[in-house]
Amino acid sequence: MPQVAEIICVGTELLLGDILNSNAQFLAQELAKLGIAHYYQSVVGDNPERIIQVVRTACDRANLLIFTGGLGPTPDDLTHATLAACFGVGLVEHPEILEDIRRKFAERGREMTPNNRKQALLPEGAQVLTNSGGSAPGIIWQPRPDVTILTFPGVPAELKYMWRDVAVPYLRQAGWVQQTVYSRLLRFWGITESALATKVQPFFDLQNPTVAPYANLGEVKLRISALAESETAAQALIAPIEQQLLEIAGTDCYGADDDSLASVVGQLLQAVGATLAVAESCTGGGLGAMLTAIAGSSSYFWGGVISYDNSVKVGLLGVNPDDLAQFGAVSHPVAQQMAAGVRDRLQTTWGLSITGIAGPAGGSDEKPVGLVYIGLAGKMGVTSVEYRFGGGRGRDWVRHLSACSALDQLRRHLLSAKFSSSSDDRYP
């Protein structure tokens, strides 16, 4: 049989629809990247007979079975015990796992429960697939020469680092990875998917590398994927296409792969030794949270003020109460005074502000839900931009787009300062 994988997700919560099966998507993407074929995915509840049936079916059509879920401490976590039964072996207690679980509990000042003991029982002959973060380890096991089994917990974060840190190196070493799909994801902000697609249409007909568009939460992406025998060979296919796409897209492309608007802004600030403070109204801290999601952000992000109530805008940011009364909290003057105020109070190079109507209530004909002003203060003065995100997609959508657009405004400003390109000045 050629080398074929199958993804098997165990958990009654999946059958009840309590959770979205994001683990299957993650594993599917990872298998595609490694060039490992997989033709089926199965979901089955926490039921030994049915898990066994799924394993038998999978063994007839695949030789790498990848399980998620059912490794926890509760009685319905049955994956390892069922796999042992399925291949006719017993369970063996691994003292080092028990010790590891005990240590992790102790680190958090908690006592291990008798339930956790179960997590140290693995099928006889299985290797431990270490879980450095959570309590449940997985296994790497070849119960028969033609079957390899990998198990992971259902917790997505644990699955992800166990996959990357342990499973991928194992699969490479065991000869599962022949040709690699290497991808480069270009990231765009401030342009719609259809506008970008129109600009780069001819690239969608390429065969190797391929170029495909995606859009999600206001962000547009282009994935360039090349199939090659080595990462270097794939990169040589991708690089010229990437270069052409970047020339077409200009500053609408803010980064690639793991970049985020916050990380790119951070790099631009750091490069010139600049610092940033934020003043947030409708986002309530979401912009600061995005900025500080980046490790090391303390070197350029000093903090800010969440001025949700107007009294905070006046008291902590020095917004003029008369302007608040005349123009309203959601207005150009207030956005500008918030940005200038926080820059002044925190003594940073830049002050960035957001004030808007996130909804669902609070909108009017003149100022509808989704109306947002972004203010930016620097040594050149203060400016602001109006956005209309609409109210149809809800409060979270408006807040997310507001924070991203604020970062994008600062990014474009930092870029245009960097290249001294006054012609691309988007500020009024």
Judged by CB under 8 A, the chain residues 323 through 352 that form the site for a copy of itself are 345-347
Q: Is the dihedral of CA 160, 166, 169, 175 positive or negative?
A: negative
Lateral strand order in the sheet of 138-144: 4-10, 64-68, 147-152, 138-144, 127-129
Q: Whose CA is closest to 86, among 119, 51, 127, 43?
A: 51
32 is a contact residue toward a copy of itself (CB under 8 A): yes
CA 71 to chain centre: 24
Complex with a copy of itself: residue 141 or 404, whichever CB lies closer = 404
Q: Work out the number of other CB atoms within 10 angstroms of the CB of residue 142.
A: 15
Complex with a copy of itself: residue 27 or 241, whichever CB lies closer = 27
Least gap, CB of 300 to a copy of itself (angstroms): 10
Complex with a copy of itself: residue 51 or 268, whichever CB lies closer = 51
What the block records as the tokens of 328 is: 């309203």
Please name the residues in contact with 322: beta carbons below 8 A apart, sequence gap of 6 or more: none
Least gap, CB of 104 to a copy of itself (angstroms): 7
What the block records as the tokens of 14 is: 């999946």
Please name the residues in contact with 165: beta carbons below 8 A apart, sequence gap of 6 or more: 130, 132
Are the beta carbons of 79 and 70 closer than 8 angstroms? yes
Complex with a copy of itself: residue 124 or 165, whichever CB lies closer = 165
Rg (Cα) of the chain, in Å, rounded?
26
Among 40, 170, 327, 427, binds a copy of itself (CB under 8 A): 40
Judged by CB under 8 A, the chain residues 268 through 287 that form the site for a copy of itself are 278, 280, 282-287
Q: Is 142 helix (H, G, I), strand (E, B) or coil?
A: strand
Whole-Å CA distances, 347 to 300, 312, 341: 12, 18, 10
Count residues near a copy of itself (CB under 8 A): 117
198 is a contact residue toward a copy of itself (CB under 8 A): yes
Q: Which stretch in 20-28, 80-88, 89-97, 406-414 sits in contact with a copy of itself by CB under 8 A? A: 20-28
The interface mask with a copy of itself, positions 71-110, x = CB under 8 A, is: -xxxxx---------------------------x--xxxx
315 is a contact residue toward a copy of itself (CB under 8 A): yes
Are the beta carbons of 65 and 7 closer than 8 angstroms? no
Please name the residues in contact with 99: beta carbons below 8 A apart, sequence gap of 6 or more: none
Complex with a copy of itself: residue 198 or 232, whichever CB lies closer = 198
**Angle of helix 231-249 versus helix 193-200 axis, rounded to 10:** 110
Complex with a copy of itself: residue 180 or 297, whichever CB lies closer = 297
367 is a contact residue toward a copy of itself (CB under 8 A): no
Complex with a copy of itself: residue 126 or 277, whichever CB lies closer = 277
289 is a contact residue toward a copy of itself (CB under 8 A): yes
Judged by CB under 8 A, the chain residues 214 through 253 that form the site for a copy of itself are 214-216, 223, 225
Q: Which stretch in 139-147, 186-194, 233-241, 319-327 sits in contact with a copy of itself by CB under 8 A? A: 186-194
1 is a contact residue toward a copy of itself (CB under 8 A): no
Q: Which stretch in 301-309, 333-341, 377-385, 408-416 sits in contact with a copy of itself by CB under 8 A? A: 301-309
Complex with a copy of itself: residue 56 or 418, whichever CB lies closer = 56
Across 334-360, b (16+ Cβ under 10 Å) vs e yields bbbbbbbbbbebbebbbbbbbbbbbbe
Q: Whose CA is closest to 135, among 117, 123, 156?
A: 117
Q: How far apart are CA 380 and CA 382, in angstroms?
A: 7
Among 28, 91, 233, 239, binds a copy of itself (CB under 8 A): 28
Q: How far apart are CA 96 and CA 94, in angstroms?
A: 5
Among 361, 366, 379, 428, binds a copy of itself (CB under 8 A): 361
364 is a contact residue toward a copy of itself (CB under 8 A): no
Complex with a copy of itself: residue 39 or 419, whichever CB lies closer = 39
User: What residue has token string 């119960």?
Assistant: 143
Among 90, 92, 132, 250, binds a copy of itself (CB under 8 A): 132
Q: Which stretch in 30-38, 86-94, 251-259, 409-417 sits in contact with a copy of itself by CB under 8 A? A: 30-38
